[in-house]
Amino acid sequence: MPNNQEQFKDLLRKNGLKVTNQRIAILEALSDRPGEHLTAEEIYDVVKKDYPDIGLATVYRTIQLLSELNLIDKLNLDDGYVRYEIGSENPEENCHHHHHLICLDCGNIYAFQDDLLENLESRIKETLGFDVVNHEVKLYGYCKECINNRAVKSN
């Protein structure tokens, strides 16, 4: 959506930052791939198609910027890469109800929404006095396809 892009430009200006082609291209690369979880290198490769002169350092710097502006979410799968995905349009529900299922077999990542922690978090506030403001939930296991494939192979 071009609307989204205008919002981004305004957000940059509002923070005394400059609107550059590189920044727009990087945000677009992620916007065009909702639900995908790209590494810095992968974003670099995508953006390089339209922008062959871009440097990897710019990608890293822009990713950090977008993350601070809460436009993208970080995801660390402990495989040596930090991954990024575009946030939901509604910033309120951004990370808070957005969790990940990670298949240990094929490596695919499935997102799901759930507010299961709301309850727990108020209980923690009451019993421990700890005020939870954010959370990260990763569920590891085996996806439908991989379970089926295994069943087929073992026959």
Partner from its own copies, DNA, none binding residue 147, C-beta < 5-8 Å depending on class = its own copies
Site residues (CB under 8 A) for its own copies? Answer: 74, 76, 78, 82, 101, 103-104, 110, 112, 114, 116-117, 119-121, 124, 128-144, 147
Q: Is 98 annotated as a binding residue?
A: no
Q: Could you say which of its own copies, DNA, none residue 39 binds, taking C-beta under 5 to 8 angstroms by partner kind?
A: DNA
Q: Is 105 helix (H, G, I), strand (E, B) or coil?
A: coil
**Considering CB distances under 5 to 8 angstroms, the limit depending on partner class, which of its own copies, DNA, none binds residue 91?**
none
Q: Is 118 annotated as a binding residue?
A: yes
d(CA 3, CA 98) in angstroms, rounded, equals 24
Map tokens 């379970």 to a residue: 147
The CA-atom distances, in angstroms, between 36 and each of 99, 109, 140 are 13, 8, 17
Distance CA 19, CA 27 (A): 12
Minimum distance from residue 58 beta carbon to DNA (Å) = 3
Neighbours of 48 (CB within 10 A): 16
Closer by beta carbon to its own copies, 13 or else 138: 138
